[in-house]
Chain A
Amino acid sequence: MRPLTLSRLLLRCGVLAVVLFIVVVVALKLGAVQVSLYGLGRDLIHVLIGRSSAISTEYGMVVMNIRLPRILLSIFVGAALAVAGTSFQALLRNPLADPYVLGVSSGASVGAILALMLENRLALSPEFAGLATPVGAFLGAAITIAVVYVLGLRGGRIDGNTLLLAGIITASFLSAIINFLMSTLAGGNLRGASFWMMGNLSTPQTKNVMYLLGIGFVVAAGAIYTTASDLNLLLAGEKEAMHLGVDVRRVRIVVYLAASVLTGLAVSVSGTIGYVGLLVPHVMRLIFGSDHRMLLPAAALGGAIALVIADTIARTIAAPSDLPVGAVTAIVGAPLFIYLLRRRLA
């Protein structure tokens, strides 16, 4: 008997953090402008201790001002999607659930587009510019998951296959809505249909939006983490969890809202990037087991690692053109999804 301890949890997260750091350094180095690892390390430390002014070369500035913000965005989006995916899998008791497959990301996209259109009309003051989009995306995500959940019910109980089918159909329906909005109502900066449907991390974000993302992530992921041991029991079924002392209603509401917030935040800055929320939790479960106290932080770090790698591939493989990162994750993710689906049916 070897239950999880805080020190083992921190050690494993530390290892993942080191892997993430190495991946970030490599991602910073790769690209059109060549930089030395030594210069990179020195500049990174300067940035970390808040002395950006000491950065030596103009190449360094390119790396720190263009590549680093994009990598930070990948870290945030990857972590948010993976935590949201882990949560949906536990909440719906379905190992194939994730924001993309369930159509939640598409719902968030529609919400974000509507918010962008509204924002263009309202002409908000600059401090609030860009902040309506995440809110719209959250609302879109929350409404979509509620609808998909109801569609996935059969005889009052959630049915795994019906749920997945409902999600996939909803996603397809919402993609059509996105196309419709783009081609008929376009005007102002709506970023284009391919951004919303394939996902892209190349749009630079304002400082305010980055703060909103950071705070939103910490609050939402923290809220989910407080339910980590409850989620372990919920996997065995709601009644059983209740008899072991889980306040099922409270856990459902917290996780449902927080996972919608995470999806909404991620989609509002990157569009719909698929399969990260599905596959990262699976890989982490294989490595660390299915205890959510370990799985949730591992998924956050693993999602960040996966998306930094995917985005680095997206911007370097066909350089100088920039592939949508969602294309990279789908090329890797879709076959893996089929594999998992067949293994589950077998």
Chain B
Amino acid sequence: MSTARSSLPTPDRPNANPDVRLSVEQVSYAYSPNPSQAPVFTLEALSFQAKPGEIVAVLGPNASGKSTLLKLISGELQPLSGRIFLNNFVVHSLPTKMRAQRIALVQQESALLFPSLVWEFVLQGRHPYGRSLRFESDDDVTIAKNALAQVGAAHLSDRRMDKISGGEKQRVILARALSQQPLLLLLDEPTLHLDIGAQVDLLETLRRLAAENRYSVVVVTHELNLAGEYADQVVLMQKGKCLRVGSPAAVYQRELLEQVFQAPLSVAIAPSGRPRVTLFSNS
């Protein structure tokens, strides 16, 4: 059946904890313009793990290495040292197609050369399940329709991608990622151009999807309060270093956040047990 994820040979690491889906183990990276020069940016070795259904938020100011970490997890970059396992397979050595059946990436929106319809765009998520030339099956259509319904965008199906709002587009991009039927969902600043209502909507949707479909979710974001409210784990980064990994309540400490984000703030714990951050002006 065309919907089945292609099976892989034996895992790169046979035993390990079956509860862990994503395992980032002592991973580092260095950017250098050419090999003879010193690197202009270094990501120091860091580790964390994610279980199915878990949301991990990667937090930090600009140039802290958040996006680099996401590129490493997505397999786009190869780690300088350390390894990243997805169900005990090394992510970087998976063939492109098999990786796309397991990892879906939601990036900041890209310009379209020839604007397509929403349903055409969502069906692109089925590409990793097809051979080089083939036509979408009824299963593919059903999966794409479900994906649109799951993000509450079924009514957009016949609209053009360049004629919908930023929030709607972000949902459609998420629907395409869902139609890849991934194990791991990666999001790069998904709330960047959204108003506050749309941001909350998107994260509510993510939490529901992670719980229902047992995705592991890694989301890179600047939004301290959204991450504090919705994430199960937070990875706090600064200048290429991972400072803390843990639950939001454990990581959100006033001195630490003030030092990382260079702004005076206070942290309170809400009745839900989730931390709330309030920023003050410098004066």
- Across the interface, do A291 and B96 meet the contact criterion of CB distance under 8 Å? no
Q: In the complex, what's the smallest C-beta–C-beta distance from A298 to chain B, in angstroms?
A: 14
- Across the interface, do A227 and B132 meet the contact criterion of CB distance under 8 Å? yes
Cα A54 to Cα B74 in complex, Å, equals 67
Q: In the complex, what's the smallest C-beta–C-beta distance from B247 to chain A, in angstroms?
A: 30
Cα A5 to Cα B134 in complex, Å, equals 9
- Across the interface, do A232 and B124 meet the contact criterion of CB distance under 8 Å? yes
Q: In the complex, what's the smallest C-beta–C-beta distance from A91 to chain B, in angstroms?
A: 12
Within 8 A of A (CB), among B130-158: 130, 132-136, 140-141, 144-145, 157
Interface presence of A338 (CB below 8 A): no
Interface string of A221-233 (1 = CB under 8 A from B): 0000111111011
Interface presence of B116 (CB below 8 A): yes
Interface presence of B169 (CB below 8 A): no
Cα A226 to Cα B132 in complex, Å, equals 6
- Across the interface, do A247 and B97 meet the contact criterion of CB distance under 8 Å? yes
- Across the interface, do A1 and B76 meet the contact criterion of CB distance under 8 Å? no
Contact of A246 among B76, B96, B120 (CB under 8 A): B96
Residue of B nearest to A234 (CB): B113
B residues less than 8 Å from A335 (CB atoms): none
Cα A293 to Cα B131 in complex, Å, equals 13
- Across the interface, do A246 and B127 meet the contact criterion of CB distance under 8 Å? yes
Main secondary structure, interface of B, reads mixed
Within 8 A of B (CB), among A288-314: 290-291, 293
- Across the interface, do B134 and A285 meet the contact criterion of CB distance under 8 Å? no
Known contacts A244-B180, A285-B114; A1 and B141 CB within 8 A of each other = yes
Count residues on chain A whose CB falls below 8 Å from chain B CBs: 31
Q: In the complex, what's the smallest C-beta–C-beta distance from B143 to chain A, in angstroms?
A: 11
- Across the interface, do A243 and B110 meet the contact criterion of CB distance under 8 Å? no
- Across the interface, do A236 and B110 meet the contact criterion of CB distance under 8 Å? yes
Interface presence of B219 (CB below 8 A): no
A residues less than 8 Å from B144 (CB atoms): 1
Within 8 A of A (CB), among B62-99: 74, 76, 96-97, 99
- Across the interface, do A233 and B114 meet the contact criterion of CB distance under 8 Å? no
* B contact residues vs A (CB 8 Å cutoff): 74, 76, 96-97, 99-101, 103-105, 107, 110, 112-114, 116, 119-120, 123-125, 127-128, 130, 132-136, 140-141, 144-145, 157, 180
Q: Could you list some 10 contacts between A and B, CB below 8 A? A: A4-B135, A95-B113, A226-B132, A227-B132, A229-B130, A229-B134, A233-B127, A235-B114, A243-B104, A245-B99
